[in-house]
Structure 1
Amino acid sequence: MERRRTEGKNHWYHETQSSASRAQALPLVPEAATVNDPFLLDIALPEDQAASLDGIVTPARKLYALLFPQRVAVNRLRTFSTYDRLSTALTVAQVFGIQRLCNHYAARLAPLPGPDSSRESNYRLAQITQYARQLAASPSVIDSRARQQLEDVGLTQYDVVVITQIIGFVAFQARVLAMLQAVLGQPVRVIPGMEIQQEADASLFANASITWQPAIDAVDLRIANAPQMESLAHWQPLPELRLLAPLLAHEHLQLNELGEICDKLTRATPNKQLAGLIALYTARINGSVGCFAEALQRTPQESSMEQALRSGEREVNRETADNPQIKALLLSVQLLTCAADRFSPLHFSLLVEQGFSRQAAVSLLMGCAMNGWLNRLKIALGQTTFPETE
């Protein structure tokens, strides 16, 4: 077996990954590892816009520090190392093709020694990489078998929570960066050969009675420590985290920052009906039946719109044909969800032309990015069940 390279990774295509249409690797940018702002990656925002986003960006920076510390002490329950975390983040960044994001995680990963070259280590890394790519690029394909494959290579419940948070966080970060680059009028840089995410199959949403249930154990209240209990009590009342919080409380510090981001975004988006519509369409594209059901319960839609959303893109376009404002919003949501690297200043300006203020458009699109994160958490950490028939 060829020995794996452990040093000198001079590009951001990680060597454990391959593609039939691999684009030419871009050179590594070493300074990308030492940015002042590890979440926005030193995007220069006007002062007023930076101030309006501070409530969201500040907890995002704190969560970045929790997910990607310089050193991670691994043990029997928490086996996900610094290399594992940054390798996973780079895999996800590659899926979305945002260049500054790829450069950053590649630059942080490059100096780290890789795992040993044993068959077990290679297989473990391959399974982690496959899982990260699938949950990032095609969330609806993740099922109990994918979770079992992680367990088979030694990942614990704590590890599963961490890897899922990393994938969701980087997906959120990619969309925020893409949106803000468009707001600032920066041109898109599309990497040749990048695939566009396809919407989930309509059959997943055909049955309105499907419910969601956890696929991993919740925090055991009998043995949970005080910080876990406090975090759970604080964030479980938040509608978006009602069912997820007991699972995410295994890593309560991460839950605290996720909760802050969710709460601040909800408060920054006054139009709850539009926010609900975005949550529904994002969940529909990603295949998160659980998020779709919860969003529909919080913000019911007209029956024709609900049916269109369940059916998919063609029916959504037909339903919104006479409402150019909603059509423009959902087209932006679709593009940001399926091909964030192609979201351009033109797409953002179309929202402004349809009557959205710049601040409202930013808030709604940030909500789209947040929903993508929650969709992946729900899909990865739970499963849908069909009602029993008599």
Structure 2
Amino acid sequence: MEQRRIEGKSHWYHETQSSASRAHALPLVPEAATVNDPFLLDLALPEKQKADLEGIVSPARKLYTLLFPQRVNTSRLRTFSAYDRLSTALTAAQVFGVQRLCNHYAARLAPLSGPDSSRESNYRLAQITQHARLLAASPSVIDARARQQLEDVGLTFYDLVIINQIIGFVVFQARVVAILQASLGQPVRFIPGMETQQEADAALFSDTATEWQPGIDSVDLRTANAPQMESLARWQPLPELRLLAPLLAHEHLLLNELGEMSEQVAKISPNKQQSWLVAAYTARINGSTCCFTRCVQRGNDDGLLVQALRAGSRELNRVLAGKNKESALVQAVQMLTCTPDRFSPAQFLQLEEQGYSRQAAMSLLVACALHGWLNRLHIALGQSVS
């Protein structure tokens, strides 16, 4: 479980045990820390593609600045330091294996001093690292106990919002970068032996009547400040954020930018049925029963397809046999969700061969990336109950 910083490989590894006397290990790509675009990491895009994505990329850049400022002032209520934030981001990036992300967060983390070397600090950092790795790689295993473990090492509800927003952001960023690299025809360079995310257990989806309960306190309407109330009023009506907004409003600036992205992704969705399939299958893979149930409740007349989604990929592929357009979309969603480091130009070619325009394919895939973020927030900040 524990990772240590290794000389010459610090773009991949960081420590979970602190040492006050250790020398700083330089990343192999130090210039990766100073990119002009901290979200797209200086990917050179055609002007048309830039314009199409600006409504999503602009709030994502603002979110990056809010999550990873150069200086973080900690307090009794907000204990998550700059080191905590960047080590969490690097842990999540390592799970996905997208090298551009790993290089960037390793370079940002390298010059920072870690926490003191006390047993308590080491244990706190180990719990943070474990949570980041599990929520990124196997979100369906996160439960109330995982949240309690973070609270036991001193994380406040503000910290819980921050850590899970960071992991969700990196989930989204890794997939958007993978999508854009593939759209540019860049070859895949994945690391052999990397673990891949497995589809969540079908047993999670056997109950057709589940509700979501928050796992942390919502913003208290009696004491919330005006910006928090404005943010809550603005974004809670959005279906994707209806349940999360009262919790995320603790950090209302983050909620505002996530809301902007969610609204924009919904606007550019090319086809209601295809968007539904992307949202439902992404939630099914990640194990977000809440998000899956919401998809089902929002309507799909094909009961056979819904049952196939509940059962998992094998049954889904059987039901979609002969439906080449839907099959191609499902395969792309599975690849992007489970192995973003292997998402290649071949996935775009397959979608285009089945009649998707480049813009439609891009919109659906970016929606898949965003759902991966929202799925994890629902999983980490609450639980589904019968």
Q: Which amino acid aligns with 2:244?
A: L
How many Å apart are 1:11 and its aligned residue?
Answer: 3.3
Q: Separation in 2 of the partners of 1:48 and 1:248?
A: 33
Q: Is the 8 Å Cα contact of residues 6 and 112 (structure 1) preserved in structure 2?
A: no
Q: Separation in 2 of the partners of 1:60 and 1:5?
A: 29
How many Å apart are 1:270 and its aligned residue?
Answer: 3.1
Q: Separation in 2 of the partners of 1:73 and 1:288?
A: 33
Q: Secondary structure at the match of 2:384?
A: strand
Q: Is the 8 Å Cα contact of residues 282 and 337 (structure 1) preserved in structure 2?
A: yes
Q: Separation in 1 of the partners of 2:133 and 2:272?
A: 32
Q: Secondary structure at the match of 1:178?
A: helix
Aligned to 1:263: 263
Structure 1 residue 333 and structure 2 residue 320: aligned?
no
Q: Separation in 1 of the partners of 2:28 and 2:309?
A: 41
Give me the identity figure in percent: 73
Q: Secondary structure at the match of 1:132?
A: helix
Aligned to 2:293: 293
Q: Separation in 2 of the partners of 1:76 and 1:197?
A: 36
Structure 1 residue 183 and structure 2 residue 196: aligned?
no
Q: Separation in 2 of the partners of 1:302 and 1:335?
A: 24
Aligned pairs for 1:129-148 (under 5 A) are: 129-148=129-148
Q: How many residues align?
A: 376
Q: Is the 8 Å Cα contact of residues 9 and 27 (structure 2) preserved in structure 1?
A: no
Q: Is the 8 Å Cα contact of residues 211 and 385 (structure 1) preserved in structure 2?
A: yes
Deviations 1:100-143 (A, max 9, x none): 00000000000001111100000000000000000000000000
Aligned to 2:282: 282
Q: Separation in 2 of the partners of 1:296 and 1:257?
A: 27
Instruction: Give ranges in structure 2 of 5+ residues lacking alignment.
Output: 18-25
Aligned pairs for 1:1-390 (under 5 A) are: 10-16=10-16, 28-386=28-386
Q: Secondary structure at the match of 2:383?
A: strand
Q: Is the 8 Å Cα contact of residues 8 and 110 (structure 1) preserved in structure 2?
A: no
How many Å apart are 1:214 and its aligned residue?
Answer: 0.6
Q: Separation in 1 of the partners of 2:27 and 2:341?
A: 18
Q: Separation in 2 of the partners of 1:45 and 1:80?
A: 34
Q: Separation in 2 of the partners of 1:309 and 1:301?
A: 14
Deviations 1:163-185 (A, max 9, x none): 00000000000000001100000
Q: Separation in 2 of the partners of 1:147 and 1:192?
A: 32
Q: Is the 8 Å Cα contact of residues 291 and 375 (structure 2) preserved in structure 1?
A: yes
Q: Separation in 2 of the partners of 1:213 and 1:10?
A: 40
Q: Secondary structure at the match of 1:383?
A: strand
Q: Separation in 2 of the partners of 1:313 and 1:164?
A: 27
How many Å apart are 1:193 and its aligned residue?
Answer: 1.4
How many Å apart are 1:346 and its aligned residue?
Answer: 0.7
Q: Which amino acid aligns with 2:111?
A: P
Q: Which amino acid aligns with 2:169?
A: F
- Runs of 4+ aligned residues of structure 1 deviating over 3 Å after TM superposition are 4-11
How many Å apart are 1:10 and its aligned residue?
Answer: 3.7
Deviations 1:329-360 (A, max 9, x none): 00000010000000010111100111000000
Instruction: Give ranges in structure 1 of 5+ residues lacking alignment.
Output: 18-25
Q: Which amino acid aligns with 2:84?
A: D
Q: Is the 8 Å Cα contact of residues 27 and 110 (structure 2) preserved in structure 1?
A: no
Q: Is the 8 Å Cα contact of residues 89 and 105 (structure 2) preserved in structure 1?
A: yes
Q: Separation in 2 of the partners of 1:281 and 1:262?
A: 18
Could you state the TM-score of these two structures normalised by the residue count of structure 1? 0.94
How many Å apart are 1:322 and its aligned residue?
Answer: 1.3
Q: Is the 8 Å Cα contact of residues 139 and 286 (structure 1) preserved in structure 2?
A: yes
Could you state the TM-score of these two structures normalised by the residue count of structure 2? 0.95
Q: Secondary structure at the match of 1:355?
A: coil
